[in-house]
Structure 1
């Protein structure tokens, strides 16, 4: 598609040029460029040619200049770019009137620019747009690479990009939080616009992370455009550039990408430093729960350094990726992939803590992600908040792999974190003992009913029936007595005397019923796994019975 004179004004070299006459002709097509200062220049011009001149041939002869303009108009030339201040000092009035009448553009080129340089840029633009983009992008890459090698900060890099583009520029992290900005955002008007810009990004993070354009109503419908900057995190950071859609050539997207690559390397370097700090933090947590730090003063001091306050109640939450199915087993063969997955989940849990406004510190211990949440008082309301927080985190994290959570009882001092951690691990292991996945389990045993209530009824019925077999729905008096006896027996920690006393039956009757039930269910109540399975089945029985009562009542 042929370019017009108007199109040339996106070139950097044309930015300071002024149209002196013939404005209506700026839609004329431009196909080639000629440079000449001779009176017979018309012999070398043709249709859609643009003449670049110093005006030397016309400095004492405005009439000759008018004749050349008429002849160029007849040939349908594009127009004339002239260095007015070089020889003419100003455009003669009769020349201006003629150019306006013919809609023949005459454009003034500042004296600090050379005709040759302008000609080269115009011809590159007309004939090889991509080559000029590449040249500029490589120039930008060199500038930014030199800055990175010299250890310039992210703010310096973003400031330099804003300078290159002559556009206000922001760098946001994957959550839409500001990391760095160009100096434009220190101006009062941009300070007011900044919250609106960031809100636009946060309201549609998915689009912003992929690269999108958003209107900013308070800025006379100006737009911002986001460019993803990849890092070691699952989601990219974002460069936000004001009015990127109107960037002058050759400030192209290719140049932005080159600058973005250098910013990306700098972010990755900073993340590596952050990972080293994370390792030190995890070493402290391992020392804490394995009781390798004995002095209370040292525990409180180091805990405070990592954000754990001494005067608050705390709970421990452990999170693990569920090891279920062939896909996970396959994944285990590739340590790099499992490492990336752990990094991603760590980052997502960190995001959830920030987004949920939780007072929490995140650690890792072997396969577990560990969160220590702190509260002035751990009330029932706080338990509800924690449950909602974990449910939301679970929904947001789960993709190809499910995750489960175990939650401890509250502790009064960070010196007891070891106890809380053990409780949280026991809570999650109890869920895994039941072959469950994607669950949330509180340490308190009484809450196993709440845990089971979250599972699909068809799964509960299947577990209930497979465990209790013929005793699943007892109708005969003998079967009802067997189920009742086993329930009391298990709740009495398998003590025959206690069971006998509570049911008002003889010890031998208890023994007989226990033995008969073990034969029917093909299990041993002295086996912890069998005992736990039957206990859970009995709890499921009470849930199914409550469901039936609700249906009957309705």
Structure 2
């Protein structure tokens, strides 16, 4: 939208600000809000410029066009005929209407007065006795003479109406419909991603389908600006625009209220009124988010039960998993995410814990956003400090691994803050019952990254070989197993003992074949036989026995681990 177009829209809006008010407009004011129209309903569109208060019989001599009369009706309490004559004269003078305290001197409005007022479309309004004529006159005059005060009154009226709807539990859809009605403009409520949460009925019509599509596209093209609140032009509609207003919630980014053609709002609507409605909508969203968090808690409790194997029935596992979006007969991959720690002092760790607590919902929302953006079949849980995603694929191969890697790198790159995210990724498992296994794999992968002092990493789980598993055991246990198995050969000193240990290694590698062992050692077959017999006598075992053979093999691996560590400390 260029500057000239903007100026024209602004001028049009300012012209509307000073349009004369009608009787209908007064019902937002204190006192008038409780008033009741007794007759002449069709005349509520009559204009009002000034107010007069009088109880004299000759009041018609002091009235002017577009003037509203406030009275107790004392002068006509026993004279319906004169009352009717006053109504005719006021109508001929084009007066606005009459506000009367009917219960003060009348039991009810005389029937002939009512019939005449209905016929002339001349409004007669009953003012409750709890409000004085002077008080109501002051409110009306302030309202007529000061458009800013009028907008404030209207904003307070909107705020009160929406607060009552909030208390009564109205849905976001009902709030949007009411806002659209009050502003006489179509309204949308979008989440922080620019997706529709609720909309007024105007946006459900086929005629507004294309406009809605353009609005959503423009918002998503510039989400940061839309979240802050700004005006956008509509490409297909010359001189027309829409505005966004931020709606704060518990999340890092606000939701957005979208008002179509908001720069030319019908008077007395104003941005202030929209903001008041937005505040109530904000509270409603926060209430719904609290309900959502309770549902999330139930989902996380299910995941904890699944990981801790507290669900014993296969049918219950499948049914509850399906309820939370996990399907049977799919490859399941677990991804665990954490916020990387910073610092090691007590103060920095305290600050880290506080910041992590504040970031929890932000990280959860972002991971949810990334899942939606990547169109992945995934369910997000939390367990302790971990954010856990179970990703599902019909098959799992290099293409899926690359897709997961790209997905996680995007999540890291899009994370705004002073902290970084790290991810551990499991192997795949074809059954929902195996989710506990893949969860522990993902946790192990992420812990391995931290053991290597990494930050902001993506680490895939790698199955440990025998040596890695043995290295994770306490050294005293390894040493005891090594010495008890190899006995005097555990620490070979003589050349003969060294030859015997070498013979064990080659003999086991050759699958206990005498000929193959002799060939590799360059010794005679009988020499190998002699050495094997001596070894089995020393170790009190049979190297052809599977159990004894396994025990000796493990002991030899332990020996290489201990020797490696011994060399490292030299």
| TM > 0.5 fold call | yes
Paired position in structure 2 for 1:247 = 265
C-alpha displacement at 1:9, in angstroms?
Answer: 4.2
- Structure 1 residue 325: deviation in Å? 2.4
- Aligned match for 1:215, one of 205, 224, 233: 233
Q: Contact between 2:60 and 2:89, CA under 8 Å: does it hold in 1?
A: no
Deviations 1:82-130 (A, max 9, x none): x9993279xxxxxxxxxxxxxxxxxxxx96599x999989964686444
**CA gap 1:35/1:331 in 2 versus in 1, 3 angstroms:** farther
Aligned to 1:277, which of 276, 289, 295?
A: 295
For 2:391 and 2:67, locate their aligned partners in 1 and report how far apart those are by CA, in whole Å: 74
Q: Secondary structure at the match of 1:408?
A: strand
How many Å apart are 1:370 and its aligned residue? 0.2
CA distance in 1, matches of 2:308, 2:200: 48
Question: Is residue 2:172 matched to residue 1:163?
Answer: no
Over 3 Å counting, the alpha-carbon distance change for 1:245 and 1:300 in structure 2 is same
What is the CA distance between 1:232 and its match in structure 2?
Answer: 1.4
Give 1:288-307 correspondences, 5 Å limit.
288-307=306-325
Whole-Å separation in 2 of the counterparts to 1:395 and 1:225: 30
Q: What residue is the counterpart of 1:13 in the other structure?
A: 22
Structure 1 distance, partners of 2:145, 2:22, is 17
Alpha-carbon offset, residue 186 of structure 1: 2.4
- Residue 568 of structure 2: aligned partner: 518
Q: Secondary structure at the match of 2:423?
A: strand
**Cα pair 2:330 2:394 within 8 Å, conserved:** yes
Report the secondary structure of 1:409's partner residue. strand
When residues 514 and 269 of structure 1 are mapped into structure 2, their CA distance, relative to the original with a 3 A threshold, is closer
Output aligned runs, 1:32-71, within 5 Å.
52=66
CA contact (8 A) 1:358 1:373 kept: yes
Matches within 5 A, 1:422-437: 422-437=440-455
Shift in Å, 1:296 = 1.1
Give, in angstroms, the shift of residue 519 of structure 1: 3.5
Query: What secondary structure sits across from 2:390 in the alignment?
Result: strand
The corresponding residue for 1:44 is none
Distance 1:414 1:4 in 2: 61
The aligned counterpart of 2:243 is: 225
- Using a 3 Å threshold, how does the CA distance of structure 1 residues 512 and 411 change in structure 2: closer, same or farther? closer
Residues 341-380 of structure 1 mapped to structure 2, 5 A cutoff: 341-380=359-398
| 419-428 vs 321-330, which moves further | 321-330
How far apart are the structure 1 equivalents of 2:458 and 2:20? Answer: 60
CA-to-aligned-CA distance 1:1-53 (integer Å, 9 cap, x gap): xx99945545653999xxxxxxxxxxxxxxx9798999999xxxxxxxx9856
CA contact (8 A) 2:50 2:144 kept: no
Q: Indicate conservation of the 8 Å contact 1:408/1:442, yes or no.
A: yes
Deviation at 1:173, TM superposition (A): 1.1
CA RMSD of aligned residues (A): 4.2
Residues 50-129 of structure 1: pairs in structure 2 closer than 5 A: 52=66, 86-87=91-92, 124=142, 128-129=146-147
Residue-by-residue CA offset, 1:174-221 (whole Å, 9 max, x unaligned): 111111111111222112221111111111111111101111122334
In the alignment, the residues of structure 2 paired with residue 387 and residue 329 of structure 1 have an alpha-carbon distance, to the nearest angstrom, of 34
Higher alpha-carbon Rg: 2
TM-score using structure 1 length: 0.63
CA contact (8 A) 2:257 2:278 kept: yes
What is residue 463 of structure 1 aligned with on the other side? none
Correspondence for 2:485: none
* Pairwise CA distance, 1:248: 3.1
Equivalent position of 2:157 in the other structure: 139
Deviation at residue 444 of structure 1 after TM alignment: 2.3
* Equivalent position of 2:129 in the other structure: none
Task: Give distance in 1, aligned partners of 2:124 and 2:189.
Answer: 34
2:338 to 320, 331, 353: 320
CA contact (8 A) 1:332 1:338 kept: no
Deviation at 1:513, TM superposition (A): 8.4
Deviation of the 1:135 alpha carbon: 1.6
Q: In structure 1, how many angstroms separate the alpha carbons of the residues matched to 2:183 and 2:310?
A: 55
Aligned partners of 2:371, 2:458: CA distance in 1, in Å?
17
Deviation at 1:501, TM superposition (A): 8.7
Q: How many residues align?
A: 394
Q: Which residue of 2 aligns with 1:468?
A: none
Distance (Å, rounded) in 2 between the aligned partners of 1:344 and 1:401: 12
Q: Which runs of 5+ in 1 are unaligned?
A: 17-31, 42-49, 55-82, 90-109, 447-495, 521-554
Deviation of 1:222 (Å): 1.4
Pairwise CA distance, 1:332: 3.3
Give the secondary structure class of the aligned counterpart of 2:290.
helix
Distance in 2 (CA, whole Å) between partners of 1:5 and 1:217 is 25
Report if the CA contact (8 A) 2:16-2:267 is conserved.
no
Q: 2:412 aligns with which of 380, 389, 394?
A: 394
